[in-house]
Amino acid sequence: MKTEVNQTCCCDALAPGRRVLRAGNTNCPGCGMSLALHWLGRALPDQPMTLCIPAGCAVVTAGAYPTTAYGVPAVATTFASAAAVAAGIRIVENLNNDPGLTFCFAGDGATYDIGTACISAAAERDEDIIYICYDNEIYGNTGGQRSSATPQNAVTTTTPSGKRRIKKDMMKIIIAHHVPYAATLSLAHTDDFVRKVRQAASVRGFRFLLIHSPCPTGWKSDPEESVELDRLAVSTGLFPLYEVFEGRRFRINVKPDFTPPGEYFSRQGRFPKVIADPELASRHIREEWDHLERMAATFPAD
C-alpha cells in the first residue's frame, strides 16, 4: 500500500503504451512541457489524439525532419491560429464521426498574446476542441522575452528591470466565454492533473486547460526542481488550482498554505534578489484568493 499523496503514479496511468512524447526529443533537461505531454498521454492512454501546435517550444520539440518526437499526429500551425486549425480538423472529424480528440498544445505566447483573438473566437463559438496552454510565463523559443503571462517583477530579456505589470489572468478571459470547462493544472499535483484532463475529455465544446509549466532555462532554475516549483507555486497561492464549469460554477481544488512567496522566488534566477515591494506580492496573492474564494462560495460547482 502506497502512502504518497499522489496516487496516480502507482496505478495504470504508468502502464506502457503509446507515448505522446518520445525520448530523444530536444527539450531542455527538466522541461515542464515534457512532463505535461507525458501526463496528457497517461490521462488518455487509449484515445486517438491530434495536437495542433502553434509556433513555440513544442514545435521544436518534434525535432529535425524527417523524425518526430511526437507519437501522435501533429500539425505545426502558424503562431496565432492553432485554435482555428484545430477547429477545422475537429469539424471534419465530427462530420465523419471519427473518434478521438483534437487538442491545441500552445505556449503562453500563442495563447495570451498573439493568438488571443483566435482563441476567444473559438471559445465563443464553443468549438469542440481541448485547448491546452503550457504556460512557462515567457517566450521561451525565441530566447526569453516577456509575455503577458510573465509574472510581476520577473526579469526577461525585454523586461531587464523586472516586469512592471501583473500576470494577465487568462482563466478569467476564457471563463467569460462561458465555455463548458476550464481548469488550471500543476505538474506537482498529478492526481488532480489526470482527473482534469479526463473531465475535459468527457464533455464536448470548448475546453481550456492551463498548465503551469516550469522552464529551467527561462526561469534560471535548477532542472531537478521543476516539479518542486509547481508545488511551491500552488502552496504559496501564486498559482491557484481550480475548475470552472460553464463559466459560472467554481471549484477550488487545493487550498494553499500561503507559504511566503519568497520560497518560490528565491529558487529562480529570474526574480531579482531584492524585490522592490515584497509586501505587494503577498497582498496581491491574498486579494486574488479572496476574490476566488468568494466566487467559489457564491457559485459552487458542487
Partner 1 sequence: MRKFCTGNHAAGYVLAAAGEANRNARGCVAGGYPITPQTEIMEFLRGFRFTKGRVQAVESEHSAMAMCIGGSISGARTFTASSSNGLMYMAENVFMAGYCRLPVVLAAVNRTIGPPWNIWVDQGDTLALRDTAWLHFYCESHQEVADTILLAFRVAEDSRILLPAIVAFDGFIISHTSAPVDLPEQADVDRYLPPCHVPHRLDHDRPQMLGAMVTPEDTAAHRLELHEAMERVPAVLEQARDEFREVFGRQPDGAISGYRLEDAETVLVASNSIASTVRGVVDKRRRDGERVGMLKIKLFRPFPRHLIRQALKGAKRVGVIDRNVSLGSGGIFWLEICGALFNTPDLILQDYLTGLGGGDVTPEAVENILEDLLARRKSGEPCWKVKAYERMF
Partner 2 sequence: MIEIVILGRGGQGGVTLAKLIAMTYFLQGQDAQAFGVYAAERSGAPLRAFVRADNQEILCRNQITEPDHLVVLDRTLVTDHIASGLKPGGWIVLNSPDPPSVFAGEFPGYRIATIDANSIAIACGLGTRTTPIVNTTILGATARVLGETFEAVRAALEELKFVGPNLESARRAYETVSVAETPAGTCSARSSSRSVVTTMSILDPDAGIPPQTQTGSWARQKPMQRSFTSPCNQGCPAGNDVRGFLAAIKEKQFDLALEILHRTTPLPGVCGRVCPAPCMDACHRNELDEPVNIRELERYVADHASPAAAAAMNRNHAVAVIGSGPAGLAAAYHLGRLGYGVTIFEAGSELGGVMRTGIPEYRLPRPVLDREIEHVLEHGVTAQTRCKVGKTELLKFSQRFAAVFVATGLQEARALNLGIQDSTHIMQGIAFLDEALTGHMSLKGERIIVLGGGNTAVDASRTAIRLGASEACIVYRRTRAEMPAIKEEVDEALEEGVLLKELLGPVALNRNGNGSGWTLECQRMRLGEPDQSGRRSPVAIEGEAGRLGLPCDRVILALGQLGDLSLFPEGSEVREGETLIGLTGAPIFAGGDLASNEGTVAAAIGSGRKAAWHIHRTLSGEDLFPKETAPVVSAATIRLTAFQRASQARGSILEPAGRIRSFNEVRVGLSESADHEVAVLESQRCFTCGACTGCDICRANCPEGVLTRRGTDYAFDYDYCKGCGLCAFECPRGVILMEQL
CB 252 within 8 A of CB 240: yes
* Closer of 86 and 252 to partner 1 (Cβ): 86
27 binds, among partner 1, partner 2, none (CB under 5 to 8 A by kind): partner 2
Cβ-in-10-Å burial (0-12, 13-18, 19+) of 202 comes to exposed
Q: Site map for partner 2, 52-81, x if CB under 8 A?
A: -----x--x-xxxxxxxx------------
Nearest approach, Cβ of residue 142 and partner 1 (Å) = 14
Amino acid identity, position 69? A
* Residue whose C-alpha is closest to residue 200's, from 216, 183, 177: 183
| DSSP state string for 246-272 | TTTEEEE--------THHHHTT-TTS-
Contact pick of 92, 117, 122, 222 for partner 2 (by CB under 8 A): 222
194 near partner 1, judged by CB under 8 A: no
Neighbours of 28 (CB within 10 A): 16
List, in order, residues 6 or more apart from 82 with CB less than 8 Å away. Answer: 52, 53, 54, 104, 105, 106, 110, 115, 118, 119, 131
Give the nearest distance from C-beta 89 to partner 1 in angstroms. Answer: 4
Residue 28 is a binding residue for partner 2 (CB under 8 A):
yes
Which parts of this chain interact with partner 1 (CB under 8 A)? 48, 50, 52, 59-60, 62-65, 68, 70-78, 80-93, 95-96, 100, 117-118, 120-121, 125
Which parts of this chain interact with partner 2 (CB under 8 A)? 1-6, 8-10, 13-14, 19, 21-32, 34-35, 38, 57, 60, 62-69, 188, 190, 216-217, 222-228, 231
